[in-house]
Amino acid sequence: MKITISQINPIIGDLTGNAQKILAAAQIAAVNQVNLLLTPELSLCGYPPRDLLLNPGFVEAMNITLQQLASDLPADLTVLVGTVEKNSTAHINGGKPLYNSVALLQKGKIKQIFHKKLLPTYDVFDEHRYFEPGLQPNYFVLEQVKIGVTICEDLWNDEEFFGKRSYSINPIIELCQLDVNLIVNLSASPYTSGKQHFREAMLKHTAMRFEKPIIYVNQVGGNDDLIFDGRSFAFNKTGELSCRACGFDTDLLQLEFNQEKQDLNINSHFNSIAPNYESEDEEIWHALVLGVRDYVRKCRFSQVILGLSGGIDSSIVAAIATAALGKENVLGVLMPSPYSSDSSIKDADDLAANLGIKTRLLPIGELMKSYDNTFAELFVNTEFGLAEENIQSRIRGNLLMGISNKFGYLLLSTGNKSEMAVGYCTLYGDMNGGLAVIADVPKTRIYSLCHWLNRNQEIIPQNVLTKAPSAELKPGQVDQDSLPAYEILDDILQRLINDYQSAAQIIAAGYDQELVNRVIKMVARAEFKRRQAPPGIKITDRAFGTGWRMPIASNWLAIINANN
């Protein structure tokens, strides 16, 4: 039996466009005499559709599109399509109005519907808001092969692998009790750094534990702050890798199920195994590039703008944008103040030359004087300080937004995760923008990415990598005037934000108590800023985005200190 994985990049809500992508894959599969085509979770509407699901008209349109797709598909091909189905008993028995479902399309009809059993409600997931869990066994028979159907989270509850159960049932055990021959999983699993290794280890364990071949199909593409990396794969029942799709791009992958051996073939001429990335930096780079490309494209922009300071953050964002959109679609704006060093202006110019992007020079010195004159009476007898420094950032933000509005460019903001964590960013200034490209990338990782990018030729100017980071808002200023060294700060933030360590645990790791408490206070006080930030591309398992739900008015320090 021939099976094809269709690793598509859907646009959320584009029912017709997504159906066409599935149909195009089906037509190729039919030419290759494939028996079964697999598509990702909610492939018809894209994942996550969020509150679009609360619109009855959207749900009805999805059903109509599904029926039309069934009639358009090649007659001899069976297709699994991710969709939603109404819960017909919700008004009688209670429960959520919808199921997260997979439709079995065959010979022009919707032959069966399978419902997701395990509904995640953690991090970026909120499926209990919309869906009722399925209760019936999910399987069908094709070419005398009994195929069990699971949907994303249904695979993530193996108590042997995790050492615990997060849900009361394990759908894989249920399918094995029904003696299925093959398990397929339709997923929309968001990317985080290193997650693919975890996925493959988990499914290899499951395949070997239950002696069942497993095919895992993942969505690809950027949807708002989430990146889906694809990298669909399959294991045979002895835990051998049968195939792996490419990362961060669409793919169409064919494999064979040997009915005599009741297993997936290994080393078939059909099988393709895309290599894993050589480094974490390379993987993160591809994620960020895809995130920018899809955000710009799916929001119907074509060109972007950003401020070029000559610093490392704006340099890496410009490089990412250029890789994502092409040099002709990126505009860098240099906005030097009287405090900007000549070397910073040269670094920005050198970067632009290396990337081949257009630049504009808009000095802000005269605008700063205008603000000084306007505030002269009100600020009399006060010292130059944070207010005056931040005005420079807000002037730059206004200029960038003016250009964005005039020409229809999307403004990219350039703040990194370390800055976003401790509030080292200016509201209505350098936080302006439609997408925060590196908001989930710590400062130390920014340096690592730049060194990786320069591995074959200089793209990020060497001086950018060696000079002390500075906002240049006053003479001689450097970031470490008000922040600890980034190696120290990022480790404290990792322990606090990602590892949920208490203040006492962080101090026990060797950090000064006063410093730890100061960092915690900065993180807590910056929550109101983060709430007003543009969406940021998620690359870690704890990002300041959809999955970050912290109160603004709270006493973090007391909470963290209490957790000893």
189 annotated as a binding-site residue: yes
57 annotated as a binding-site residue: no
What is the C-alpha radius of gyration for the chain, rounded to an integer number of angstroms? 26
237 annotated as a binding-site residue: no
Residue with tokens 């793209």: 459
- Residue 447: how many CB atoms within 10 A of its CB? 18
- How long is the chain? 564
358 annotated as a binding-site residue: no
Find the catalytic residue in 116, 204, 443, 538. Answer: 116
309 annotated as a binding-site residue: yes
- Region for residue 239 given its phi and psi (left: phi exceeds 0; alpha: psi -120 to 50; beta: otherwise): left
307 annotated as a binding-site residue: yes
Q: Which long-range contacts (CB under 8 A, 24 or more apart) does 136-139 make?
A: 137/174, 137/175, 137/178, 138/102, 138/114, 138/171, 138/175, 139/175, 139/178, 139/180
Find the catalytic residue in 21, 85, 127, 152. Answer: 152
Find the catalytic residue in 41, 132, 153, 472. Answer: 41
Q: Side chain identity at 286, as an amino acid letter?
A: H
276 annotated as a binding-site residue: no
DSSP states of 164-203: S-SSS--HHHHHHHTT-SEEEEEE--B--TTHHHHHHHHH
312 annotated as a binding-site residue: yes
414 annotated as a binding-site residue: yes
Find out whether 230 and 198 touch, Cβ atoms under 8 Å.
Answer: no
506 annotated as a binding-site residue: no
313 annotated as a binding-site residue: yes
Q: Is there a catalytic annotation at residue 116?
A: yes
Find out whether 179 and 146 touch, Cβ atoms under 8 Å.
Answer: yes
**Both tokens of residue 474?**
């006053």
DSSP states of 274-336: PPPPSSHHHHHHHHHHHHHHHHHHHTT---EEEE--SSHHHHHHHHHHHHHH-GGGEEEEE--
Burial 243-275 (b: 16+ CB within 10 A, else e): bbbbbbbebbbbbbbeeeeebbbbeeebbbebe
158 annotated as a binding-site residue: no
155 annotated as a binding-site residue: no
Q: Which residues are annotated as a binding site?
A: 122, 189, 195, 307-314, 390, 414, 419, 529
Point out the residues that are catalytic.
41, 116, 152
Binding residues for deamido-NAD(+): 390, 419, 529
| Binding site residue list for ATP | 307-314, 414
Q: Binding site for L-glutamine: what residues are annotated?
A: 122, 189, 195
